[in-house]
Structure 1
Amino acid sequence: MVSSALAGDLDPIAGNPLIEIPAGRFVFGRDDGPENERPRRILEGRGFAINRTEITNRQYERFVAATGHRPAFYADHPLLGLADRPVVGVSWGDADAFCRHHGLALPSEQQYERAARGTAGRSFPWGETPPDEMRANAGSEVCCAGDDRDGYLMTAPSEALAAGASEEGVLNLIGNVWEWTGDIYRPYEGTSVVGGGRYRVLRGGAWNSDAEHLTTTYRLAYDPDFRFAANGGFRCVRSLP
């Protein structure tokens, strides 16, 4: 699909600006969590820009109207389909097509972690304090059911929960909806992947996630063709020179 974004179009998705993440050293992975998050490393990252919020139903519907791409599975849902809520019910291919249409790409795992953790390797975008109702749209204490303690039974508006923003001002990098990355699921080091490396990686947890899943390092291997998840969305990035 040919991109509709011009080279000079700095914010190709109306209402969802790209936030610059500068180049430099950052922490990737951790040694004190699940095995697939190891090892902790210091990497030298290139600069990039990432959408301030998750892609919304309104933004996705514009893409569908412009291209004839299939709608999101939950487009007509009374709660999940609200215009200002993050789009859910999209496969990896749907998300990839949206980003490419705008001259962008899905973030890599390294880009996601740099945006979410800052340079010091935070456990959460805002620091080390565990999530609360002001910072993340999360689920019940026992996985995996939604609750309305944060005011939202399911997804929250993409601009909500500003207290949980990252140091650069990116919103909802944990909670609200899982986010597709561009990467095939693999261990960081060592053994081969069960399933032949056919799964893609989701990051960030969602509105029905418990605390174990709501960190900046948690990795979820997922079938890229599955488009029926009511808790899976995405955002896009652009590499910088």
Structure 2
Amino acid sequence: MDRPEHRTGCCAPQRATGPAVPPLLSGHPRPAGPSAHTVPQAHIPAQTFRMGDAHGDGAPADGETPVHPVSLTAFDIDTTSVTNADWAKFAAATGYRTEAETFGFSAVFHLALAADPRDILGQPPQTPWWRGVRGADWRHPGGPRSSIEGLDEHPVVHISWNDAQAYCAWAGRALPTEAQWEAASRGGLDGRRYPWGDDLGAQEGERTGWRLNIWQGAFPAENTMDDGFLTTAPVRTYSPNAYGLWQTVGNVWEWCADAWAVDTYTRDLAAGTVHDPTGPAGPAPHAPRVMRGGSFLCHDSYCNRYRNAARTSNTPDSSMANAGFRTVSP
């Protein structure tokens, strides 16, 4: 695949306006204990795996190379993204308000809008398919005229990195490092593009014939929904990987703990075999954070980041209609 450019349109633009908010928000919830988090777990065994893009699929500006050995201690990870039902329990128990709610707006893809014209605050010129929408948040993923009724088992979206950290603080969990995320997504398949292998082709026996929720059709004007969905799919759609994880690629971007750097792997490789890496040390509070897995907006003609090795970033206070998270044991 030839991807000479760093194309970011499948993930939302950075939040450019709004009040200053500290990294974890003042008064973020106190821990509620391990029973607060009920997402089923997969155990990822201790291992050394080859991290990075072994196929030359990624753009240089994404920093997916060089491929390098990484050793990880065993850990447990959510088998699915955190759902609307999971987040609703957290919000009800704590009264927590997301940054999208605090700022009063978030990013919505133009074909998923459910808002009056007066609620459209603008669109970035580089990615005009995104809209800044007043009243878009986790309860209203398409804008103020939408709701999550009937979407309990869909991934929660419009969640910033800061919001995800607040959930983790309450639940006694953590965001995965990107090394943990990649090892878990690979499911023990060394060097493969996807959680099931190298072939994106249809899966015999799946309801739609697709293995993941990405864009079909001409991006960004038409989505034929051959995979069954315009936006998010329920978290247990398609098939899990060999470790039992569902939809690590496609559906929604997932926040990782690490700060972003294009040259992370170059510096790691210089150190030899890396043990439990945590990304660049000492990041500034507002430094961009890693996101993994791609989303329902990814399409090979524009953004092929629905791969195990793919990585991108956004600022920790940014939220969007195609990003959520899953957690790991601390």
Q: Pick which of 100-109 and 116-125 moved more.
A: 116-125
Corresponding residue to 2:291 among 202, 211, 217: 202
The one-character-per-residue Cα deviations of 1:118-171 (angstroms, maximum 9, x if unpaired) are: 331321011111154531000135555654111111100011112xx2211100
Alignment RMSD: 2.3
Counterparts of residues 57-206 of structure 1 (less than 5 Å): 57-71=84-98, 73-77=137-141, 78=146, 82-119=151-188, 120-130=190-200, 132=202, 133-140=209-216, 143-144=219-220, 146-162=223-239, 165-186=240-261, 187-188=263-264, 189=266, 198-206=287-295
Distance change >3 Å, CA 215–CA 141, structure 1 → 2: farther
Distance across 2 between alignment mates of 1:236 and 1:113:
13
Distance change >3 Å, CA 68–CA 136, structure 1 → 2: same
The one-character-per-residue Cα deviations of 1:14-68 (angstroms, maximum 9, x if unpaired) are: 3x21110000111111252332101101221111111011111110010000111
SS at match of 1:201: strand
Segments of 5+ residues of structure 2 without an aligned counterpart are 1-28, 101-136, 203-208, 268-279
SS at match of 1:136: coil
Whether the aligned pair in 2 keeps the contact of 1:19 and 1:50 (CA below 8 Å) is yes
Is 1:232 matched up with 2:257?
no
Is 1:19 matched up with 2:94?
no
Corresponding residue to 2:71 among 41, 44, 53: 44
SS at match of 1:87: coil
Whether the aligned pair in 2 keeps the contact of 1:26 and 1:118 (CA below 8 Å) is no
SS at match of 2:257: strand
Using the size of structure 2 for normalisation, the TM-score is: 0.64
Is 1:3 matched up with 2:31?
yes
The one-character-per-residue Cα deviations of 1:62-85 (angstroms, maximum 9, x if unpaired) are: 000011111571313447662111
Distance across 1 between alignment mates of 2:172 and 2:242:
25
Whether the aligned pair in 2 keeps the contact of 1:79 and 1:154 (CA below 8 Å) is no
Distance change >3 Å, CA 141–CA 123, structure 1 → 2: farther
> Match of 2:123?
none
Distance change >3 Å, CA 221–CA 117, structure 1 → 2: same
Q: Pick which of 65-74 and 205-214 moved more.
A: 65-74
Whether the aligned pair in 1 keeps the contact of 2:250 and 2:298 (CA below 8 Å) is yes
Distance across 2 between alignment mates of 1:180 and 1:215:
15
The one-character-per-residue Cα deviations of 1:203-227 (angstroms, maximum 9, x if unpaired) are: 0010111131211111111111112
Distance change >3 Å, CA 93–CA 144, structure 1 → 2: farther
Using the size of structure 1 for normalisation, the TM-score is: 0.86
Distance change >3 Å, CA 143–CA 219, structure 1 → 2: farther
Distance change >3 Å, CA 4–CA 201, structure 1 → 2: same
Distance across 2 between alignment mates of 1:79 and 1:134:
27
